[in-house]
Structure 1
Amino acid sequence: MHKNRLQSFAERTHKKLPIYKTELEGEYHSPKFRCTVEVGGQQFSSSGSFNRKKEAEQDAARVAYETLATIGEGDVKEAFGLIEQDAVFCKSILYEFAVKTKITWPAYNVIRLEKPFTMFGASVVFNGNTYSGEPASNKKDAKQNAARAVIKSILATDSTCMIEIIRSKKQLITAARSSESTPTTFTPIKFTRPVAYAAYGGADHVASMSQDESSSLGVQGLNMVPTVGTSANPSLKAVTGSKKRKVTTVAKEH
């Protein structure tokens, strides 16, 4: 049924429902009907005259659906899908559309809404019409939502200019959506400590130790002292030698 298909198409693309207008042609004893249907601001006429009014309406619906579906049903659907994903670029999209079509720039108005939680609502005046967006938790998002309401209204008219602007932002919109869904990961911090130099080949060597190892050693494990009598602490070696000579001299005297 062509009328059903056309109505479903209008609902999917956010257009007004089709309006049919039938004209009577021919003689009274042999009537003929011709139909014109209006969809999304465009009018489509049946391909000819028909003996029955319903036949003329079905044919007009067929012509309208085939024309609109061929022109840009997929493009309009894609644009609506991108806008529904995220409103983060809606203000810039609407501004670019205003520049290209030489329409006065949008004017935003934000109000504070008193609800169980603090919310903000925004409206925007564009091309002589006022549009309201969904409430948001901050003023910035409220303005983006208002801009999205305008964009949806423009897309319903099959605006080629608006579709091209949205498609040019496809990668940015997709990337922004992906970044919001990707969880942030943290790398655990590992601590290191100095150890006895002589055991690792010199005073410039520092061995690393994980956090688990440091906790198992306790406080005393972190206060390690180089081995006595090594090159790492020559002063201790000299003291030990002096004490040995002193003991030998006392023994000889006795």
Structure 2
Amino acid sequence: MGKEKRYINVFFVGQMDSTMTDSLIRELGAISRSVIAELEKNPQGPLKYLLEVAKKELRDQSVVWKFETSNYLFCAINKAEKADCIVVMMTEPTTSGFEANIEQYGFVNGGKQIICCCKMDEHSYNAVEGQLSSHFVKSGSNAIIVPISCDEEGNNISKRGSNLDWYNGPTLLEALNQLKEPISTQGYYYRNKLETYCLRTYQMFPVYVTKIEGELHNVKFRSEVKVNDDTFCSLEAHLQRKEAELDAAQVACTSLLSKCDDVTLRIEKDELCAKSILHEFALKSKSSLPVYSSSIVKELEMTYWKSSVLFGGVSYVSDDRAKNKRLSEQKAACAALKSILATEDHLLPSILVAKRKPTSAVAKSSRASKKQKIGSE
């Protein structure tokens, strides 16, 4: 059995005259080949109405229609924000029509694959390619520019004609067939997981820096992500800036979390969540809830807090000093968890492994206060 084809959502936008629309309908399969053959035999017959309706629907983007290539199943949709690929249609070889679509839809965000189609000659193609390519590089995308000619000899939609012998690139269908599969949810999973790790360990949020490689007409993006003093680079160069950032996030997340495989080290990394972890363990093990007692210790000119926690009939005390009561209780809970891990080999480790969401409200308040300080400066 052959590999099942992946669906890709494509959004057609731009200036589409009747000739261009007719060519798209015929070549991309908006209506069946049998209907087209009947129309060619009898262009004024009853099926002419079907062709006119299909033209109007494609121009108005009022319905969804599908077509197929050797690699993918395409679904032409009517919402740019849900599209994996944008096909920009221009009737004139200028950048003004394209820029108008950017303002209207705002789809150039570094996460879309873009194909530009325009009726043009060799001179116009070279001029437009240079302008649009530089525009896409700045926005973090990599576009394919395809000249099309809607005539009987060949329109470069599915086959190339003799009037485009100067062009060596792909046809529109070939360009669609060469698209990369949409970014999987796994990439976003690692990015979110990395942010969660930074939040729970009270580190600065990841900072991404993307570099451009290659020539203007074939650029690629390579990203680095910095987490405190550590810098992680994407394994390879990508056609989209967002893909490069997600790749770097996966490298960083895998490397940082591999250092926390030991559950004891994981407790130390999540020390400020120790009270909530101990509370959850008490509920799941059906034990009495922990009871904390704290006191201020004055030693010479130093003043600090020390706390103990009573859990399961045993009192746990941390040897570490704390500057306030809250941190002192967290350290006591951390000491209790480390001691429990020495004898408990199932429930507590499973809680530590599964616990991924930041549970401390202190994290949010501390980050908000940092933003306020930066804003005031």
Question: 1 or 2, which has the higher helix percentage?
Answer: 1
TM-score (norm 1): 0.38
TM-score (norm 2): 0.27
